[in-house]
Amino acid sequence: MPTKTFFNLSEPKRKRIFSAAVEEFASRRFSEASINQIVKEAGISRGSFYQYFTGKEDLYLYVLTEIGKEKISAAVPHQVSDNEDFFTAYLAMIKDILAWARERPLYTKIWMLMEFDDSEFIAKLTAQFPNAWGRLRELIERDKKLGRIRPDVNSDMVIQILYNLNLHFQKAIIRRGNLDDLLPQVEELVKILRGGIAIV
């Protein structure tokens, strides 16, 4: 948690620091991110930084919290009804995420880099936050009971497939800003997931 001193700062200054942090954390993994770079970019002195935050972890947590706040207030949580099956719910969710990725590419990149950081701190962090995929898992279980999904499939594996492919799509977005040909790909993925690829 940032210090009282930090919150006493003027909003422009706070935003300057926040932006600098976002920029750094979106370009390097947490473990490689440099406080030096951040203070330079934010135009504050090294000493000041340690008067605002106890260290890099503190700042990172603050950035994540702020991003989370904005995301919650921005995203309209997708409502799932009973006659909407898992597949369409997933597609809707993906569309939400893709929209968010287009709107806030830096935030998305921070999230992505977090995925590829093996530091102790990041491991602990991701372990704490229960992700959105948990809700999706529940949908699979529900559809199993409703007779829409084969009860013998491993729900976790399905989530793993979707989660990792999602990561792949995000990577693609960041590389080449175009996301028009992405939705067809997701639809292709859903098609394969739904019916498999083998001829029986």
Partner DNA sequence: TACGTATATGACAACCCTGTCATATGCCGA
Partner DNA sequence: TCGGCATATGACAGGGTTGTCATATACGTA
Residues that bind DNA (CB under 7 A): 4-5, 8-9, 13, 33-37, 44-48, 50-51, 55-56
Phi and psi torsions of 112, nearest 5°: -65, -45
- Type and span of the H or E element at 26: helix 11-27
Shortest distance (Å) from residue 40 CB to DNA: 8
Of residues 85-144, those binding a copy of itself (CB under 8 A): 87, 116, 118, 123
Q: Which residue, 106, 112, 117, is CA-closest to 177?
A: 106
Amino acid residing at 58: D
Query: Which of a copy of itself, DNA, none interacts with 116 (beta carbon under 5 to 8 A by kind)?
Result: a copy of itself
Of residues 141-180, those binding a copy of itself (CB under 8 A): 147-150, 153-154, 157-158, 160-161, 163-165, 167-168, 174-175
CA 94 from chain center: how many Å? 12
Q: Which residue, 147, 160, 169, 145, is CA-closest to 193?
A: 160
Query: Which of DNA, a copy of itself, none interacts with 97 (beta carbon under 5 to 8 A by kind)?
Result: none
Sequence-distant (6+) residues with CB within 8 A of 156 are 137
Chain residues binding a copy of itself by CB under 8 A are 87, 116, 118, 123, 147-150, 153-154, 157-158, 160-161, 163-165, 167-168, 174-175, 185, 188-189, 191-200
